[in-house]
Amino acid sequence: MRIFKKAASLALALAVFFSFSQNVSFADGESKPVKAFMVNSLNNLDFPSQSNLSLRAINNEIEDILSFAKANDFNSVILEVRPDDGCLYKSDVYPTSDFWLKEKGKFSFYDLSKDFIKKAKKEGIDVYALINLGFPDFLAEYPQEEIDKNLEDLASLKERYNFSGVVLKNIPAVKDMDYAKFLEDFKGALGDLPLGVLYFPSKYLEADGDIILQNSDFIIPVLEDELTFRDNDGYIAVLKEMQSKNPNVIPFSDFKGVEGVSPKLSSKHYAAVKNGFDSFVFDNYTALRDNSNMQFALVSTVNGMKEPMDKLNIGYNPVKQFGITRPIKPISTPYSTYFIMGTSDPGTPIYFNGQQVERYSEDGLFGVKVNLSLGSNSFTFSQGQVTKTVNITRTSPSDEKAGLINKITKAFPADNAIFKNNQEETISCIAPAGGQVYAIVDGKTVALEQSASAQKGVPALYKGSVTLNGVTSEEVRSLGNITYYLTFDGAATSYTSKGKLYLKGDNARAKIKTKLIFANVLTPDLKFGDFKAIYKEGTTEETVGMTFANNDWYYELRSGGFIKASDVEVIESEKNDKELKFSEISFESEKNKEIIRLKGISGIPYCFIEQEDKTTNLELYGSFSDSSAAEMESYLSSMESQLYSKITASKTEDKIVMTFVPGKEIWGLDIVYDGNDTLILSRTKPEFTDDAKNPLGNLTIVIDPGHGGIDSGALGVLGTDGPMEKNLNLLSAQVLRKRLELLGANVVLTRENDDENPSLLERANAAYVNDADIFISLHHNSIAEAADGNKFHGVEAYYYEDFGKKLAQLVPTKISQNTSQRDYRKTEQAYYVVTKMRCAPAILNEIGFVPSPFEYERICSPDEIFKTSEAIAAAILEFMQ
């Protein structure tokens, strides 16, 4: 049986661990987990960094290596003391290495390896000798003379040096070689010193893998990457089989040549930790020290995930018995197709109307898309001796009769509205056809007429005209609600409008204030999604009229946009403030943020306009005083910003335009209201900390688990008897929080349990309340009941502001790469509430499709949930580079 996968090279892209089990003997006779990294001398990769260094320089490099080991909790170093046919130690057989003394064979009184071991032992660090026996070329034979030289040299090495063990690298690959005797001779030369093999499976070595396993004290196999959605398969299965022949198995790979931040290696590390492998090694020191790809940060903290993952209760327990989970009873639907789902014994075939059903789930979950004819439909499924029948009735739109009403169901204004003094205006309501309707408006009685003939009792529109007066020229006054009265079929009922009516004088500045955390301001074409601006709660602006579009009333704003009436409240005013003045302008700088504070003015209406050259124009609307505009222009020209190369301001009749020219990558540029002040907040990419194990120590990340409470989100194949979207969102968020906390981040969840369901605006506002550097909303995808769930699987992400675009590309890409058969579907700009903040990069991520039998079992896998968290953490690390 083949148990090794052929490795491409030592420069495998990804970080790793390796595991000595508890019976590995150390020089001091103690058995303990080993946490090690390799120090390679070939081509002066790690140490010495160049040939012919001074004694002081060599000592400095040794101290740096050992300091790195101590700081990062390593207790062992594997030092390459013979990189080729030269040594970094005193040998009677081989010459000194030219990587040490520049000239091969040159003599030195200084003993580099002895000094390295002495300093390491003083720090409590064990040193293993890495011996390169040659090159892994296929040879006709390996000369006995060369074997004898090695045996003599290793015997001498054991006597002269206090190494904790010896690792053989590049055992010669020779056909028909007696590897048992080869290793027996080497172990004899080393006595009780542990002998390990850095193992590259090759044409000949692979055939003799069992012999090498059984004749080594420990073995370090170089494995290709292989991930499954259950980590007791594939990669771990290989390790366990190897361990059955040698308890001291050390999987190996290195950091060299890795592009970007890949989470695969830390996921493999977690799989090993979970399965009892408690030791590790990384290769190589320089890559670890420089940490340019942040691989070390991911892998070095993965041990901390074992406890929370062990406690993870997902609630996924497919019975593996035949049953239909959707629909659970006869149903009616207008759809022409329907996706039936169920459970089964995965080892026994299922039949649908006599045809075998193809299943894509290893747990026996299945789904079948059926076509529906008008009227009754019956479908038969069977497994073994059990038969299940599904009954679905397809209805026609003509079967749906118009609902009859006997009272008023809706009336103007549904939200607050403004009428002009002495101008004819229209009021309306929805009431049953054939009734009599009138309204009382500011003490006036207004008769309403049915707009069109209709069957009695059918909902109909009633309209009436009214002219109101009684306010001063500069006054905006509330007239209260409108009460409507209906007489129908001899019964009298009334209805009070939900919104209030306001009356505006001829010269009054009718103002509205946004009452939502985010309020959409549409462009004049009133096409939803085509936003002119996103106003924050408290933004105040003058209106110039109202219009009806998209089945809603909108206020037309003086700045040129349109805002939904339901998103604002009307400000009653008797004073006509024409000039805007701020008492002072100031500048604040902290961490990765800068704030321009306009004191004395809050709620300024605004619009951000991104330019192709990465500059941003911020338009502040209002009749600013000349003194305020001049003060701003003067202040900005002298302000010392670390984020922008230049900030300018210019004034027109009704606005100030500020232009921000970035000098660094900008992560957020936003308006925030603080009491009576308006703050212009800018944010740039936070810096990594100096602690390689906690690189995200400067970040606050808000994670939003979608849905919650009575909002279950999408239902999976198991329906309410298994994890629903809200459960999976929260579990994924909790695992991701722990993962990011181990990397040093401050993490806040928008909900902590499945009973909570914050509003969308409350979720988005958490980014502002917690001063977030990143906001991630976690969801799982749904599909219509008519869609074929077998054809849906994959990961998506959405962003609105450009700040989040790169993160929205990285997250689904990393998840797809690190998990099992989950495609990267797309990254798109979309106007979800939780992506519309400008204070920091914000994305919404769809992790997988819950109604897909294939994907449901994967996204319910603890291993996959961990790998997803690894992928998101890796995406954040790469996003910050």
> φ and ψ at 158, to 5 degrees?
-60, -40
What is d(CA 849, CA 501) in angstroms, rounded to the nearest whole number?
Answer: 47
pLDDT of 710 > 90? The answer is: yes
Look at residue 628 in the predicted model and tell me its pLDDT: 84
Q: Around Cβ 362, how many Cβ atoms within 10 Å?
A: 14
| Average pLDDT of the chain to the nearest whole number | 89
pLDDT of 13 > 60? The answer is: no
Q: Which tens digit of pLDDT belongs to each residue from 534-546?
A: 999 999 999 988 8
- Measured in residues, the chain has a length of 881
Query: What is the residue whose two structure tokens read 């009754």?
Result: 376
> φ and ψ at 148, to 5 degrees?
-60, -40
Look at residue 27 in the predicted model and tell me its pLDDT: 43
Strands 173-174 and 677-684: unpaired
Beta bridge mates, 798:
828, 844
In one-letter notation, the amino acid at residue 793 is: H
> φ and ψ at 685, to 5 degrees?
-60, 125
pLDDT of 529 > 90? The answer is: no
Mean pLDDT of 734-761: 96
Strands 616-621 and 606-610: antiparallel
Split at pLDDT 50, 70, 90, the class of 5 is very low
Q: Which tens digit of pLDDT belongs to each residue from 569-601?
A: 998 865 555 677 788 899 999 888 999 999 998
Split at pLDDT 50, 70, 90, the class of 398 is low
pLDDT of 724 > 60? The answer is: yes
Q: Which tens digit of pLDDT belongs to each residue from 473-490?
A: 888 999 999 999 999 999
What is d(CA 697, CA 693) in angstroms, rounded to the nearest whole number?
Answer: 10
Its pTM stands at 0.89
Exposure string of 527-549, with b = 16+ CB inside 10 Å and e = fewer, is eeeebbbbbbbbbbbbbeebeee
What is d(CA 876, CA 881) in angstroms, rounded to the nearest whole number?
Answer: 9
Mean pLDDT of 332-356: 95
First-last CA distance in the chain: 44
pLDDT of 204 > 80? The answer is: no
Beta bridge mates, 463:
428, 449
Q: Which of 14-18, 52-56, 602-606, 617-621 has the lowest mean pLDDT?
A: 14-18
What is d(CA 744, CA 376) in angstroms, rounded to the nearest whole number?
Answer: 59
What is d(CA 472, CA 460) in angstroms, rounded to the nearest whole number?
Answer: 37
Q: Which tens digit of pLDDT belongs to each residue from 684-703?
A: 999 999 888 899 999 999 99
Q: Around Cβ 358, how many Cβ atoms within 10 Å?
A: 10
pLDDT: which is higher, 551 or 95: 95
> What is the 3 state secondary structure string of 486-532?
EEECCEEEEEECCCCEEEECCCCCCEEEECCCEEEEECCCCCCCCEE
Instruction: Give the HSE-up count for residue 621: Cα atoms under 13 Å, Cβ half-sphere.
Output: 17
Residue % of the chain over a pLDDT of 90: 70
- CB neighbour class for 691 (10 Å; exposed up to 12, middle 13-18, buried from 19): middle
Look at residue 482 in the predicted model and tell me its pLDDT: 97
Split at pLDDT 50, 70, 90, the class of 30 is low
Q: Which tens digit of pLDDT belongs to each residue from 754-792?
A: 999 999 999 999 999 999 999 999 999 999 999 999 999
Split at pLDDT 50, 70, 90, the class of 21 is very low
CA 501 to chain centre: 46
Look at residue 121 in the predicted model and tell me its pLDDT: 96
Look at residue 223 in the predicted model and tell me its pLDDT: 67
Q: Around Cβ 721, how many Cβ atoms within 10 Å?
A: 17
Residue % of the chain over a pLDDT of 70: 92
| 731 SS3 class | helix
Measured at the CA of 777, the angle between CA 772 and CA 778, to 5 degrees, comes to 140
Q: Around Cβ 119, how many Cβ atoms within 10 Å?
A: 16
Q: Around Cβ 483, how many Cβ atoms within 10 Å?
A: 14
pLDDT of 6 > 50? The answer is: no
> What is the 3 state secondary structure string of 832-867?
CHHHCCCCCCEEEEEEEECCCHHHHHHHCCHHHHHH
Look at residue 170 in the predicted model and tell me its pLDDT: 87
